[in-house]
Structure 1
Amino acid sequence: MPHRKTSVAAAALLGLSLLAACGSGDAPESAAAPEAGAEEVILANGMTPKEQIDARQAHLKNYGKAFKTISDQLKSSDPDMAAIQTAAANLVSESEGMDTWFPEGSGPDSGVKTDALPAIWENPGDFSQQVANFQTEAAQLSEATKTDDVDAIKVAFGETGKTCKSCHETYRADD
């Protein structure tokens, strides 16, 4: 039993740190007001910068909810495996198309508040690799949840969180 308590405590600590790293969007909604003229710009995808950033933030907030669900369940003495599986599957489905969430013109230079750093557009190859890494780890986490092996899920959850944090270190402000 002492080993289980240590394992649960370690998972709780890991979960909180991952949640802090990945659980928030670009910026608070109240801070997303565009400066004059920002609404007049139409991106290549037909959206305004504000619409694109709002859509991006919605996806990222869904990530936060999924990470929180998994973290909370892994801290539980009797984790709800169905909730973990659903949250992990949501990470996978939310990450589809993630590489399209950051079109040219949807960064800080748009005049809309965003925590996305210019480095995203300055280093598109590396940013795309970071996105691909997250998608791979999220898929592996989802597969791990199908085993009902809590220890394997904790490992996969940690790896998924590391990819999220790694990207934030370079491409997101206010972390």
Structure 2
Amino acid sequence: MKRIVAVVGGLLLGAGAVMADQKIAVEQDNLMRGQAKSMYDVIGKMVKGDIPYDQAAVDAAIADLEASVPKIPTVFATNPKEDVKNATYGSSPKIWKNKADFDSKVPPVSKAIADVKGKIKDLDGLKVAFKSINDRCTDCHEVYRVKLK
């Protein structure tokens, strides 16, 4: 009887750990997806001409990025050891092997956002801002993001 209780307890602990890992992975994925929505679904589509320039949408996207980017080191503090199911991209284990370098990639993104905030007044300004911010995002993505599919 003690063995059965121990086995069931072990299985429940293991299941709890897997669910916790998935919760952390989803939180990380949601943060990045939110930033991608602002960066690519709003700003990027305007830059490409897929949607018309909209100052209010630009300001909201920049404000969202400004608020969410500094959260990256905290949200990525724990290695979930698994990826979000059916995700296209995931986090490289390199993040937790070199956390200081990973964290050092965030301030340049925040600075790029701060440098353009309030200065974007038209499509040409948006194009410059997009490149500036995107280049800093790419500095991290090249090393710490992996394509899963």
TM range (shorter): 0.7 to 0.9
Which secondary structure state, in structure 1, belongs to the residue aligned with residue 147 of structure 2? coil
Calculate percent identity across the aligned residue pairs. Answer: 25
The size of the alignment, in residue pairs, is: 130
Say yes or no: does 1:79 pair with 2:79. no
Q: Report the alpha carbon displacement of residue 37 of structure 1 after superposing the two structures with TM.
A: 6.4
Runs of 4+ in 1 over 6 A off after TM superposition: none
Q: Which runs of no fewer than 5 residues in structure 1 stay unpaired?
A: 1-35
Q: 2:112 aligns with which of 129, 137, 148?
A: 137
Q: Please report the RMSD computed on the Cα atoms of aligned residues, expressed in angstroms.
A: 2.6
Say yes or no: does 1:167 pair with 2:137. no
**C-alpha distance in structure 2 between counterparts of 1:59 and 1:149, whole Å:** 27
What TM-score does the superposition give when structure 1 sets the normalisation length? 0.64
Q: 1:40 aligns with which of 9, 16, 21?
A: 16
Q: Report the alpha carbon displacement of residue 134 of structure 1 after superposing the two structures with TM.
A: 1.5
**C-alpha distance in structure 2 between counterparts of 1:139 and 1:40, whole Å:** 40
Match of 1:31 in 2: none
Say yes or no: does 1:65 pair with 2:37. yes
Match of 2:3 in 1: none
Which structure is larger by alpha-carbon Rg, 1 or 2? 2
Match of 1:122 in 2: 97
What TM-score does the superposition give when structure 2 sets the normalisation length? 0.74
Q: Report the alpha carbon displacement of residue 80 of structure 1 after superposing the two structures with TM.
A: 1.1
**C-alpha distance in structure 2 between counterparts of 1:97 and 1:156, whole Å:** 21
Report the structure, 1 or 2, having the larger helix content. 2
